[in-house]
A and B are shown apart, each in its own frame.
Chain A
Amino acid sequence: MADVTMLDAINMGLRTEMSADPSVVLLGEDIGINGGVFRATAGLQNTFGKQRVIDTPLSETLIAGMSIGMAAEGLKPVAEIQFMGFIYATFDQIINHASRLRNRTRGRLTCPLVLRAPFGGGIHAPEHHSESTEALFAHIPGLRVVIPSSPSRAYGLLLAAIRDPDPVIFLEPKRIYRMFKQQVQDNAEALPLDVCFVLTEGSDVTLVSWGAMIHETLAAAEQLATNGINAEVIDVATIKPLDMNTILESVAKTGHCVIVHEAARTCGVGAEIAAQLAEQGLMSLFAPVERVTGFDTVMPLFKLEQKYMPSVSRIIAAVTRSLKDA
């Protein structure tokens, strides 16, 4: 068992799956000899060769489109888009084709691809490098959208994504790529997709989050605990399709829910969770659902990004509001 960062865990997962399954190929910009701009694919071209670890021309539409052609022909492409800010050129391919190839051919052709992209703010990156737009993909039928929040979940969920027979958008919160290390066993064991992970159990309030924001959420839970408030923290992990049962069960127990996400508020995944809580869990709630999110503004350049992103104190304030009459 090794002590690894999330980036190491992703690299390890890719290496393990490429060794186990010769149909897995990687493609993207600068992923070969350079090992990717974040080094997620470091050393893999050396081991598996240029034909399986493919440096593509600078062509995001091509990367997504050729992944579809490869997948339909029986390969398992794992494509990297260098930053989520450049993923929008793939929309035509992902929305019009990848997500619906199985459906439109009634299962004759399938599209088992993984589209990886680093996303989110907090690393003082240039313009277009810090947004969190996962909800755009979560709206599309036929896709899975998976967001890990720790090295071990990155490893296990990535293996699951590669083995999944349908297209998976795998969004990597780059702020925590190297934030901390964790023991991860390279045992080729996948974690389940389509389920939330309960990270800490509690009885007073449910905190729902995903990606890098899990860490502010966990820090908030720790502070709340010193005040005698027991928070249950849920990592949604697969935001599409959404496992509402785990969230509903928790809210049935706590009666209070605060949703935390870095993305803009309106039509964010938090809105869907809140809507489903209103539909199915209203009678469990003792207070309105709170959302702590990025603002409905353009993600500011990095001098102001900390003002944009949800902080521990904003989360605690929301919990305090939710519990004020409890």
Chain B
Amino acid sequence: MNETVKASRKQPHTPFSPTYKSCHCVAEFNIQHHKMLDYEGNLLVTKIPEIANNQQQLIKLYQAMVSTRLFDKKAILLQRRGQLGTYASSLGQEAIGATIGCLMHDDDVLFNYYREYAAQFMRGVKMSEILLYWGGNEQGMNFQKARHDFPICVPIASQAPQAVGAAYAMQLRGQQRVAVCVLGDGATSKGDFYEAINAAGTWNLPIVFVINNNRWAISLPQDKQTHAQTLAQKAIAAGIAGEQVDGNDVIALYCRLKKAIEKARSAAGATIIEALTYRLCDHTTADDASHYRNQQEVQENWLYEPINRLKYYLMKQGYWSETDEKKLYSQCQEEVENAVKEYLNTPAQNPESMFDFLYETLPASLVEQRNSVMVKEPK
């Protein structure tokens, strides 16, 4: 079901052409919204996409979403018990990360903000590494797999120009690799985002920007963030493709993201995908969204969350049973518990590690400071 929000692009006329009229349209645009699966798990399209019949791939996506949700729940619990620092949940938004992670190649590079754990897990980042990060240990950013991926980016939108640089390096070297940059809705108001998409268009770079539009940037709803009808239309200013996808619909996400990533990989240019979802959680564990957000709105949005939607579809297709479900939950629970054990058993780093990764070789002027942290303080 593709709804047109606004309408195609014409080649701009030169303003000095002899045919120039006093007032005429020089460019037109539209933004498509893509949705394939309704919240009861019914396919809305008559032309069935390949992924809708790919049981194995759909189950892989489902597993990634479920394990991310259980991880999330556990992480919040650890924070409440004082065993983890501030944590940003991805509740309700798992489909976006899972689909990104499923579609990227190992040697692509992910530039992530702090809600797409599912993408990181699918790329081989360990749950214990994410816990170490939020648990105050830099080792959590030294991923043992996904070695080229950037760690979680906290300063909003600042990962976007970096992703452009990585994409430029890939293009320069003629590599068939893609940079994927994930941002939140708030990030689209920042200059970094505009500078990055503008450059991605200028150089036709192999990059995909995915906007997790969960409608809330901490306390600011989308209508206070921008007067634009969609965030996808920001692509128009950069001369790149932009479209909106139901971000809780794995099938639509898979189809559109696959197309965008393949397009980037085949040197056909950058895309912005605005994935519409909803933040069912607080901004972070340090936030209480009831101060600024109507609880009824949250309750209503539970109806559209992505995991049940896919489960209903899988069950209707006969791809999934309650027995499979039980087995999956106990497997995921075990995976999470093992990660927690690994996290809790990881000792804090030596204090001198503050110095050991600052430069490749520690400047002579810092040796004394380093030595001073190694001296045991008197009790």
Q: A residues within 8 Å of B by Cβ?
A: 25, 51-52, 54, 56-57, 59, 61-62, 64-75, 77, 89, 92-93, 96-97, 102-110, 141-142, 165-166, 194, 241-245
Contact = CB atoms under 8 A, between A and B. Distances in A.
Interface in B138-190: 138-139, 141-143, 147-148, 150-151, 155, 158, 160-170, 172, 179
Contact of A74 (B151, B161, B169, B366): B169
Given A57-B202, A107-B142, A166-B359, A97 B162 contact: yes
Nearest to B196: A62
Given A65-B160, A97-B158, A241-B365, A70 B358 contact: no
Contacts of B111: 69
Contacts of A102: 357-360
Contacts of B357: 102-103, 105-107
Interface string B119-141: 00000000000000000001101
B172 A52 contact: yes
A75 B360 contact: no
A61 B151 contact: no
B363 interface: yes
Contact of A65 (B148, B151, B196, B198): B196
A88 to B, nearest CB: 13
9 contacts: A25-B172, A59-B198, A61-B195, A62-B198, A70-B168, A93-B162, A106-B139, A108-B142, A108-B147
Contact of B360 (A62, A66, A68, A110): A110
Contact of A92 (B142, B158, B163, B167): B158
B109 A105 contact: no
A108 B155 contact: no
A149 to B, nearest CB: 20
A75 B172 contact: yes
Contacts of B169: 69-70, 73-75
Contacts of A52: 172
A69 B166 contact: yes
A62 B364 contact: no
Given A57-B198, A142-B358, A241-B365, A66 B168 contact: yes
Interface residues of B, number: 42
Contacts of B179: 69
B93 to A, nearest CB: 24
A232 B195 CA distance: 48
Contacts of B196: 62, 65
A67 B165 contact: yes
Contacts of A69: 111, 161-169, 179
Contacts of A92: 155, 158, 192
Most chain B beta-carbon contacts within 10 A, residue among A59, A93, A96: A59
Given A69-B168, A72-B150, 9 more contacts: A51-B172, A59-B195, A61-B195, A62-B198, A65-B161, A65-B162, A66-B199, A92-B192, A104-B151
B141 A65 contact: no
Nearest to A243: B365
A72 B150 CA distance: 9
Nearest to B156: A92
Given A68-B162, A69-B161, A96-B155, A62 B199 contact: yes
Contact of B363 (A70, A71, A194): A194
A63 B270 CA distance: 19
Contacts of B170: 73
Contacts of A96: 155, 158
B359 A65 contact: no
A65 B359 CA distance: 19
A66 B162 contact: yes
Contacts of B351: none
B191 interface: yes
A93 B167 contact: no
Contacts of A108: 141-143, 147
Contact of B359 (A25, A56, A74, A142): A142
B176 to A, nearest CB: 14
A102 B265 CA distance: 28
B195 A62 contact: yes
Contact of A61 (B139, B161, B358): B161
Contact of B138 (A68, A72, A97, A103): A103
